């Protein structure tokens, strides 16, 4: 590989210094060649110069960080070939989309250079040289249509041919602790010297720097408290889910860069439970990224519009043959790691919140899936879920999620962090008792009505399951601080038939994207219509929702109905004016929420789950998830998505249950809890 690498670098130097192509392609290849030579130079300086197996001084620093990501930063992106709009303006839309994708893929390389992964660097450099050679081959005759198809095929086969290697590596990073680049960095680096942040090869901003500085100032006791809350949530999740943690040997830690002191303590806690950590990087490559979502440890984006523009680049090539190839190699990868996969306990997430709200520009030049490809991606998600569940069984794994602010949230960052730490460590016993009062009342009800106020147009009826044995079974789970931290909700899987009406939220932030006046209509529990007011064009609004909320499905069910009880979280959001920045993990506790997609028990419905009072939760299935037991329709049981949408207390007019005798049991009126015994939940409002 070293020999191939050296030959490749020499060829790329020739491309940069003596371009043989006419414009506009000549300047494109010179630009990409320049970037690849930067990568080659920093790799050569890094390789073999690790201190304690990790740090290469004077190589990974602020200057190199800004230089490597400069082309995709907002100030440069307007006139960058990584921008499909600019590339299309210069080269035409077909070429603009295709060659912008090629250049965009190269920005996975800084991370690989940091890991000294020569194979990943080499295959992309050779791919670039191959594309250039195709151009020079057709330069004389300049048959553009033939040239374009040849380059597109070159990209297709690059993806197809390396899919097995890339997938096997990705699965390995998820389940096998020996893939330990990030873990060694955390456990061995001097975390008091924040220059370690640059060694990841990720784009580093003040969010990471100021976070690391704050944690360095905190006493070890406070760091330990944060780590203990996080890891205990994971442990308790197994207990509450009636799952055996002793069978597990691996936990997948997903965290934001800057939180290393907390993660280091968490690793030590997990090891006491008999769990070794895996830490895979958030993917920047077409081989394994899905849209704009996070799927590994992560930093701040250098440019969220860049990520959004390239979220569906796979649409340039995606066909059934490629999809089948992806599934085939995924299964092969899990077969290779079958033994350790069975011992994988599931993910432990640390999320962050506070980034500026992002409303993406929907560029016509950016590649998007056509209808046939959307169906293929939906099918892939279903089949992928089956494969993962076969080797990491859903009924045996668990998870936990906790969230903290980042400095971008504003000048009061440190105060917000302090209050969030307090929020995440609220004593759960008091909530558990009050929530049981709510559950006891709701267990008497056939359905629940939810009505909005103050401009909120929500009018919903949620049908509840019937209890065969009310003395031993219950409709709602009493959720305290385990898998979903902080404390504060009761939830159920609604009966779909009879669940109907309008869900409306004036402003909400879902999966890093904002929505204005999001409105979803349900009929028999399924999404019937949807709209928002983000864009002037109505069809553009519908596409935005279908792509990011429905995940390309034509319709999905209401998989969850919950009542958030954490009024302290709501008041914190109001106190700092950050309601629109709270992550769904916290926001879902600040009012009733409704999840579209799979139920909370997805792939684990057959495991009996009990509340602290000993009653078994009956509502683990709905009419869709139960199809997993129907051989002819089992492929329709799961959607591989679950998105929570919360109505804040100040938009909630009334929430009440209705019994079989027609009695109305009020739970919340005008944003305040009114059920006897739940008065404690209103105390925070007085603050």
* Coil vs helix vs strand at 479: strand
pTM of the model: 0.88
Predicted pLDDT of residue 57? 53
Which pLDDT score, from 0 to 100, does residue 269 have? 98
Domain boundary among 400, 434, 459: 400
Are 364 and 231 members of one domain? yes
Q: What are phi and psi of 6, to 5 degrees?
A: -65, -40
Does 613 share its domain with 539?
yes
582 and 659 both lie in a single domain: yes
Coil, helix or strand for 549?
coil
Q: Which of 248, 428, 420 has its CA nearest to residue 347?
A: 248
**Residue 113 placed within a domain:** yes
> Cα separation of 136 and 42, whole Å?
29
- Mean pLDDT for each consecutive 10-residue tract of the chain (687 residues)? 96 89 91 97 77 56 94 96 98 96 97 95 98 86 82 97 97 96 96 95 97 97 95 91 93 98 98 97 91 86 95 95 96 97 96 89 94 92 92 92 95 96 85 94 97 96 95 92 84 96 91 88 97 93 92 93 93 91 87 93 87 92 93 88 91 96 96 94 86
Q: What pLDDT does 55 receive?
A: 46
Asked whether residue 462 falls in the same domain as residue 390, the answer is: no
304 and 227 co-located in one domain: yes
Beta-carbon contacts of 391 under 8 Å, excluding residues fewer than 6 positions away, are 334, 335, 337, 338, 341, 342
> How far apart are alpha carbons 31 and 103 in whole angstroms?
9
Strand order in the sheet with 526-531: 526-531, 513-523, 495-510, 459-463, 445-452, 652-659, 664-669, 672-673
- Whether 373 and 444 map to the same domain: the answer is no
Q: Is the domain of 440 the same as that of 394?
A: no
Q: Are 257 and 202 in contact (CB under 8 A)?
A: yes
Q: Do 607 and 466 share a domain, yes or no?
A: yes
Q: What is the pLDDT of residue 640?
A: 84
CA atoms of 642 and 550, how far apart (whole Å): 9
Could you give the C-alpha distances from 229 to 224, 426, 483, 641, in angstroms and in order?
A: 9, 10, 11, 27
The distance of Cα 236 from the centroid of its chain, to the nearest Å, equals 23
Shared domain for 430 and 396, answered yes or no, is no
Residues 356, 362, 367: CA angle, nearest 5 degrees: 120
What tokens appear for 660 in the block? 């079989």
Residue 6 lies in a domain: yes
In a domain, 199, yes or no: no
Query: What does the alpha-carbon distance between residue 467 and residue 439 come to, in Å, rounded to a whole number?
Result: 13
State whether residue 464 is helix, strand or coil.
coil
| Token reading at 624 | 């869709």
pLDDT for position 56:
47
For residue 106, tell me if it sits in a domain: yes
Domain hosting 91: range is 2-142
Number of domains within the chain:
3
85, part of any domain: yes
Q: What span, in angstroms and rounded, lies between the C-alpha atoms of 110 and 191?
A: 22
Residue 296's CB is within 10 A of a number of other CB atoms, namely 22
Angle between helices 25-46 and 2-17 (to 10 degrees): 140
Q: Could you tell me if 334 and 388 are in contact, meaning their C-beta atoms sit under 8 angstroms apart?
A: yes
Report pLDDT for 48: 60
652: in domain: yes
Question: What CA–CA distance (Å, rounded) separates 281 from 297?
Answer: 5
Lookup: tokens for 118: 């020569």
448 and 380 in one domain?
A: no
Residues 389 and 509 in one domain: no
In this structure, are 22 and 75 located in the same domain? yes
């Amino acid at each position: 590989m070293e020999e191939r690498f050296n030959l490749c670098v020499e060829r790329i130097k020739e491309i940069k210094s003596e371009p043989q192509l006419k414009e506009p392609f000549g300047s494109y290849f010179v630009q990409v060649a320049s970037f690849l030579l930067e990568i080659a130079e920093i790799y050569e300086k890094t390789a073999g110069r690790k201190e304690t197996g990790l740090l290469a001084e004077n190589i990974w620093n602020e200057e190199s960080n800004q230089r490597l990501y400069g082309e995709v930063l907002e100030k440069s992106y307007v006139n960058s070939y990584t921008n499909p709009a600019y590339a299309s303006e210069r080269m035409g839309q077909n070429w603009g989309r295709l060659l912008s994708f090629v250049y965009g893929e190269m920005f996975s390389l800084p991370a690989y250079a940091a890991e000294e992964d020569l194979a990943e660097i080499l295959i992309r450099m050779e791919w670039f040289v191959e594309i250039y050679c195709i151009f020079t081959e057709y330069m004389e005759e300049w048959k553009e249509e033939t040239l374009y198809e040849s380059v597109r095929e070159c990209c297709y086969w690059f993806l197809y041919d390396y899919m097995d290697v890339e997938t096997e590596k990705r699965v390995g990073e998820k389940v096998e602790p020996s893939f330990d680049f990030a873990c060694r960095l955390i456990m061995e680096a001097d975390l008091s010297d924040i220059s370690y942040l640059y060694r990841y090869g990720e784009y580093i901003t003040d969010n990471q720097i100021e976070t690391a500085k704050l944690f360095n100032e905190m006493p070890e006791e406070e760091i330990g408290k944060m780590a203990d809350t996080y890891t205990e949530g994971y442990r308790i999740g197994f207990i509450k889910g009636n799952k055996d943690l002793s069978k597990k040997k691996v936990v997948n830690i997903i965290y934001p860069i800057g939180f290393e002191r907390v993660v280091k303590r968490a690793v030590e806690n997990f090891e006491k439970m008999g769990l070794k950590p895996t830490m895979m990087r958030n993917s920047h490559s077409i081989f394994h990224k899905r849209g704009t979502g996070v799927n590994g440890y992560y930093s701040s984006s250098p440019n969220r519009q860049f990520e959004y523009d390239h979220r569906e680049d796979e649409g340039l090539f995606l066909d059934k043959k490629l999809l089948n190839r992806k599934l085939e190699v995924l299964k092969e990868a899990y077969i290779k790691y079958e033994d350790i996969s069975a011992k994988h306990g599931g993910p432990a997430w640390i999320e962050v919140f506070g980034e500026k709200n992002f409303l993406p520009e929907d560029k016509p030049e950016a590649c998007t899936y056509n209808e046939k490809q959307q169906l293929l991606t939906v099918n892939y998600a279903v089949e992928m879920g089956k494969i993962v569940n076969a080797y990491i069984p859903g009924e045996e794994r668990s998870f936990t999620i906790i969230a903290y602010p980042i400095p971008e949230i504003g000048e009061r960052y440190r105060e917000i962090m302090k209050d969030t730490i307090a929020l995440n460590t609220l004593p759960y016993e008091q909530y558990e008792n009050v929530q049981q009062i709510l559950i006891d009342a709701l267990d008497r009800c056939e359905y629940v009505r939810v009505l909005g106020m103050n401009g909120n147009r929500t009018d919903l009826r949620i049908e509840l399951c019937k209890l065969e044995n009310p003395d031993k079974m219950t409709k709602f789970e009493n959720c305290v601080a385990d898998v979903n931290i902080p404390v504060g909700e009761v939830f159920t899987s609604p009966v779909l038939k009879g669940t109907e009406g309008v869900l409306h939220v004036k402003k909400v932030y879902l999966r890093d994207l904002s929505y204005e006046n999001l409105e979803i209509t349900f009929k028999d529990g399924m999404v019937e219509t949807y709209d928002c007011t983000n864009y002037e064009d109505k069809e553009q609004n519908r596409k935005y929702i279908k792509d990011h909320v429905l995940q390309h499905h034509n319709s999905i069910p209401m998989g969850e109905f919950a009542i958030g009880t954490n009024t302290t979280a709501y008041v914190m959001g109001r106190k700092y004016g950050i309601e629109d920045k709270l992550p769904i993990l916290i926001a879902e506790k600040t009012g009733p929420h409704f999840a579209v997609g799979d139920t909370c028990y997805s792939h684990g419905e057959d495991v009996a789950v009990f509340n602290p009072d000993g009653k078994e939760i009956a509502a683990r299935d709905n009419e869709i998830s139960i199809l997993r037991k129907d051989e002819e329709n089992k492929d329709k049981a799961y959607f591989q998505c679950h998105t929570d949408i919360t109505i804040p207390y100040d938009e909630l007019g009334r929430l009440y249950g209705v019994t079989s005798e027609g009695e109305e049991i009020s739970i919340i009126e005008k944003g305040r809890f009114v059920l006897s015994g739940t008065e404690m939940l209103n105390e925070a409002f007085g603050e």
